[in-house]
Every structure is written in C-alpha cells, then in structure tokens.
C-alpha cells in the first residue's frame, strides 16, 4: 500500500510547521519569583526581555527628571540620597557644580550598567538585577 500526500495534506503539514517555527521562544529571562521581569519590561522597547544600554540610559533620564523636582539642571546630594554614596557623588560630579547634571548622571548609569553585566553580553537580564551590582544599577535607573 502506497501513501500519497495530497496538496491539501502537504499544505496542512507546512502550515503546522510554520506555526511551530513561528511560535516565539519565551523572550528574556524570568525573575527569581517566576514572573516576567516587570522592571525591565517597563523600558524594554524592543520587547526582547532584556535591557540594553540605550534602554538603560532612557530609564536613567526619566529617573533624573523625577529626582529633580526643582528643575535646576542638577541633582543635589539630598535629591539622590541613598541611591549613591557621598564619595560616589563627588566622584561623578566631574564638572564640580553643586550637583550632577544629566550628562554626569548618564555616565554613572552607563558605568553601573557595565558593572551589573558580568557576562558582557551588552544586555541586563532579570537574574543580573538580583545581585548587588544589579541593585546599584536599579538605584540610578528606576524610581
């Protein structure tokens, strides 16, 4: 007995294969509690479940604006208290004004991004946020 695949059956098999192949793998990592990482997904513009440096800088810019209620173009230490230490504040205040301007803040965000990304894959995944360096990164990027 010979089996003959009709064009209808062939199309059905191809469609099933396409649906299987097109089903996306779960993007990114899950956080330690099993749910999606809502912190990253807030700024994850490309929806890959990870945060790249551009998304991190955007998050840092949004936080900088929130932390600067007086809109004076700098973050004074009392506005960033508990997010960075006094010595770190002094280190990143390169221009020497009374506070960190947005460029200095962005440099700090970039530095903490690199430190929180030990695998150097240019993205921060949820599991990397559950480290001390990840917490430091969150302190300068999320409210």
User: Residue 132 pLDDT > 50, yes or no?
Assistant: yes
Rounded CA separation 47/37 (Å): 11
Rounded CA separation 104/16 (Å): 53
Rounded CA separation 13/5 (Å): 10
User: Residue 5 pLDDT > 50, yes or no?
Assistant: no
| pLDDT tens digits for range 29-73 | 444 443 347 778 888 888 888 999 999 999 999 999 999 988 888
pLDDT at 75: 93
| pLDDT tens digits for range 83-131 | 999 999 999 998 777 899 999 999 999 999 999 999 999 999 999 998 9
pLDDT at 63: 94
User: Which residues are paired to 124 by β-bridges?
Assistant: 51
pLDDT at 43: 87
């Amino acid at each position: 007995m010979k089996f003959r695949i009709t064009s209808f059956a062939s199309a059905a098999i191809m469609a099933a294969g396409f649906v299987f192949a097109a089903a996306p793998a779960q993007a990114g990592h899950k956080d330690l509690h099993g749910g999606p990482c809502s912190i990253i997904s807030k700024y994850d513009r490309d929806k890959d479940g990870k945060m790249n440096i551009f998304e991190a800088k955007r998050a840092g810019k949004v936080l900088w604006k929130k932390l600067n209620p007086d809109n004076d173009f700098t973050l004074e230490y009392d506005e960033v208290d508990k997010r960075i230490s006094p010595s770190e504040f002094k280190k990143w205040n390169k221009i020497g004004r009374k506070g960190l301007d947005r460029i200095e803040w962005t440099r700090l965000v970039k530095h903490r991004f690199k430190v929180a990304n030990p695998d150097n894959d240019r993205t921060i995944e949820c599991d990397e946020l559950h480290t001390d360096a990840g917490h430091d990164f969150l302190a300068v990027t999320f409210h």
